[in-house]
Amino acid sequence: MKAAISVNDLSVSYNGNDALRNVSFTVEEGKLIGIIGPNGAGKSTLLKVLLNLIKKDRGSIEILGKSIRQMRKSVAYVPQRSNIDWDFPITVMDTVLIGTYPNLGILKRPQKEHRAWAFECLEKVGMSEYRNRQIGELSGGQQQRVFLARALAQKPTMYFLDEPFVGVDVTSEEKIISILKELRDNGKTVIVVHHDLSKASDYFNELILLNKELIAYGLVENVFKPEVLNRAYTNQFSSILGGE
Amino acid sequence: MIINFIEAIIQYEFLQKALLTSMMVGIICGVIGCFIILRGMALMGDAISHAVLPGVALSYMLGINFFIGAVFTGLLTALGIGYISQNSRIKNDVSIGIMFTAAFASGIILITLMKSSTDLYHILFGNVLAVRPSEMWSTLIIGIIVLLCVYIFYKELLVSSFDPIMASAYGLPIRMIHYFLMALLTLVTVASLQTVGIILVVAMLITPASTAYLLTDRLWVMIYLSAGIGVLSSIFGLYFSYTYNLASGATIVLAATALFILAFIFSPKQGLLWNTIKSFRKKEAFSQK
């Protein structure tokens, strides 16, 4: 197996405050990985630096052996729902069509075949009958499925999702996780920022446990243990998990 | 009276020029305005239009085309606003307020110093009935440039307005797109000087676009509607300006406001009236159960 992502000695700060310190890990291809940790642990920061949206102070990141810059078009990003303006005048279909933009390049417009492909992606997430709706008219789970369809439309080799299950109904959550597992089985790498510990062990192969530093990384059964989790969550959740 | 207006248009060349110029202004302000309101930059639009004043004054002094000076001071102000809010705890709206009033104040002083025939009043409030052929042509050229830019970069403007994080993740230079839009905005402002003037141009940018925003859920429809509503506002405004001898900028803006109020009340999806009726029916249905 090739390394999908290798992060070496990564440090990031905002205005002199550390967000991530000396983080190193290597992710193999074809894995479904959760990034977990308490609030303010740097989960979203890690995702953003992997997407080259913020600058790192130190360290190196390689995606499939290349720089992020070279690989940015084959990486798809599903934003947190709170980052989207749901009143924007755009339909479900046109939202998914945006997924074809990265590979179109400047000046070219989406053609019939791109529309057909976007429709296929919408069918995949079970949202094709809503294609002419304005995106704000959908429920939270439906909105998240539309953005997953947009990511699929990009035909990437790697998927980054930021808290995709927040405010999402059970049906949508199951649909989304089954698609993510299918992508993994087809050799794609899927990285999910996740905050709900209860499902973490069912959903992911491997976990990245963060709290500014990398606390633990590895197979779920090795990371998802009270004594390991406690090191990240200190005393916050020890009573809930029944540890100590 | 409308017949008199139509006869006057056929008869007087100055009125034909006024009508053509203000219709073009309606179109380009309507188109750019859509992106301004969707990006939440209404205040920025107001600021940049005011910041054009010192540039216009400097251009007169140096004897160069005033589009050059306007774009220069407009962009300089946009850069200053961005620099202050990114490098201090000053919030963006405050930074906008500081920079554009400074630019506007310098413009007033520069124009006073010039003591030329340039009338500050006309730059600030517009006087479309006195539009010169050269100004009509430059408005047309600016209009074509602006529309072409929006047509060519429609896809990039759409994605960077809707989801700047994704746009930036796949490599679009979103900061450059922001300043590019600011440059278009200064061009539109200068093109609107004669018609509505610096003070009121922001209304032509945001009011027709907001009216269109209440009427559709598709960006390209919104752009066409907004341009159309801008043109209608210009025609109605010019009619009242000519017939009752009122300032053209003010009548055009009020015409745009009237159209907005109509959409606000009667819009099929977002309007006040239908929403009230719908919630009334819901309550009725519940009370019958």
pLDDT digits (tens, 9 = 90+) for B40-67: 999 988 999 999 999 988 988 888 888 8
CB-closest option in B158, B159, B165 to A79: B165
CA separation for the pair A157, A162 (Å, rounded): 17
Instruction: Report pLDDT digits (tens) over A197-244.
Output: 888 888 998 999 998 889 889 888 888 888 888 888 875 554 455 443
**Which residue's structure tokens are 């200064």?**
B186
How distant is the Cα of B152 from the closest Cα of chain A, in angstroms? Answer: 6
Instruction: Provide mean pLDDT across the span A139-143.
Output: 94
How distant is the Cα of A209 from the closest Cα of chain B, in angstroms? Answer: 24
Output the six-digit token pair for B50: 């005011």
pLDDT surpasses 70 at B103:
yes
pLDDT computed for residue B221 by the predictor: 96
Round to the nearest angstrom and report the end-to-end CA distance of chain B. Answer: 55
Under the banding of pLDDT at 50, 70 and 90, the label for residue B21 is very high
Residue window 215-244, chain A: list those with CB within 8 Å of chain B.
none
Under the banding of pLDDT at 50, 70 and 90, the label for residue B118 is low
* Interchain pair B162, A98: CB under 8 A: yes
- Of the listed ranges A143-147, A150-154, A197-201, B198-202, the one predicted with least confidence: A197-201
Closest CA to A126 of A87, A173, A191: A173
Closest CA to A13 of A43, A42, A37: A42
Mean of pLDDT over chain A: 89
Pairing of strands A32-36, A75-78: unpaired
Q: What single DSSP character describes residue A193? A: E
pLDDT computed for residue B116 by the predictor: 62
* Interchain pair A109, B169: CB under 8 A: no
Instruction: Report pLDDT digits (tens) over A54-104.
Output: 888 999 999 988 888 888 888 999 998 888 999 999 999 999 999 999 999
**Which residue's structure tokens are 């309101």?**
B37
* Chain A CB contacts of B221 below 8 Å: 89
pLDDT computed for residue A241 by the predictor: 52
CB-closest option in A73, A83, A94 to B165: A83
Looking at the complex, does the CB of residue B63 fall below 8 Å from at least one CB of chain A?
Answer: no
- Of the listed ranges A39-43, B146-150, B219-223, the one predicted with least confidence: A39-43
* Interchain pair A85, B219: CB under 8 A: no
CA separation for the pair B9, B16 (Å, rounded): 6
Looking at the complex, does the CB of residue A2 fall below 8 Å from at least one CB of chain B?
Answer: no
Cα angle B259, B261, B262; round to 5: 65
DSSP code per residue over chain B = -HHHHHHHHHH-HHHHHHHHHHHHHHHHHHHHHHHHHHTT-HHHHHHHHHHHHHHHHHHHHHTS-HHHHHHHHHHHHHHHHHHHHHSSS--HHHHHHHHHHHHHHHHHHHHHHH-SS--HHHHHH--GGG--HHHHHHHHHHHHHHHHHHHHTHHHHHHHHH-HHHHHHTT--HHHHHHHHHHHHHHHHHHHTTTTHHHHHHHHHHHHHHHHHTT-S-HHHHHHHHHHHHHHHHHHHHHHHHHHT--HHHHHHHHHHHHHHHHHHH-TTT-HHHHHHHHHHHHHHHHH-
Give whole-number Cα distances, B50 to A233, B46, B105, B192, in Å: 52, 6, 9, 12
Closest residue of A to B163, CA-based? A84
Q: What is the largest CA-CA distance in chain A?
A: 60
Instruction: Provide mean pLDDT across the span A115-119.
Output: 96
What percentage of residues in chain B have a pLDDT greater than 90? 58
* Interchain pair A73, B166: CB under 8 A: no
Three-class HEC string of A66-82: ECHHHHHHHEEEECCHH
* Interchain pair B217, A101: CB under 8 A: no
pLDDT computed for residue A236 by the predictor: 54
* Interchain pair A53, B168: CB under 8 A: yes
Higher pLDDT, B225 or A239: B225
pLDDT computed for residue A106 by the predictor: 80
pTM of the model: 0.89
Mutating which of B88, B217, B223, B224 best tests the A interface, going by the most A Cβ atoms within 10 A?
B217
Distance of CA A21 to the CA centre of its chain: 21
Round to the nearest angstrom and report the end-to-end CA distance of chain A. Answer: 38
How distant is the Cα of A47 from the closest Cα of chain B, in angstroms? Answer: 11
Helix B66-86, helix B174-192: angle, nearest 10: 140
CA separation for the pair B108, A234 (Å, rounded): 61
pLDDT computed for residue A39 by the predictor: 84
Looking at the complex, does the CB of residue B273 fall below 8 Å from at least one CB of chain A?
Answer: no
* Interchain pair A89, B219: CB under 8 A: yes
CB-based burial of residue B4 (10 Å sphere; 0-12 exposed, 13-18 middle, 19+ buried)?
exposed
pLDDT computed for residue A1 by the predictor: 58
pLDDT surpasses 50 at A109:
yes
* Interchain pair A53, B152: CB under 8 A: no
Closest residue of A to B159, CA-based? A98
Output the six-digit token pair for A197: 């510990």
Mutating which of B170, B172, B177, B220 best tests the A interface, going by the most A Cβ atoms within 10 A?
B170
pLDDT computed for residue B158 by the predictor: 96
Instruction: Report pLDDT digits (tens) over B134-166.
Output: 888 989 999 999 999 999 999 999 999 999 999
How distant is the Cα of A90 from the closest Cα of chain B, in angstroms? Answer: 5
Q: With H, G, I as helix, E, B as strand and everything else as coil, classify residue A241.
A: helix
pLDDT computed for residue A242 by the predictor: 47
* Interchain pair A84, B213: CB under 8 A: no
- For chain B, state the CA radius of gyration: 20
Mutating which of A70, A73, A88 best tests the B interface, going by the most B Cβ atoms within 10 A?
A88
Mean of pLDDT over chain B: 90
How distant is the Cα of B33 from the closest Cα of chain A, in angstroms? Answer: 14
Pairing of strands A58-63, A32-36: unpaired
The set of residues, in sequence order, having a beta carbon less than 8 Å from that of A82 and lying 6+ positions away, is none
* Chain B CB contacts of A51 below 8 Å: 169
* Chain B CB contacts of A155 below 8 Å: none
Under the banding of pLDDT at 50, 70 and 90, the label for residue B4 is confident
CB atoms within 10 A of CB A211: 18
In this prediction the ipTM stands at 0.88
* Chain A CB contacts of B215 below 8 Å: none
Looking at the complex, does the CB of residue B161 fall below 8 Å from at least one CB of chain A?
Answer: yes
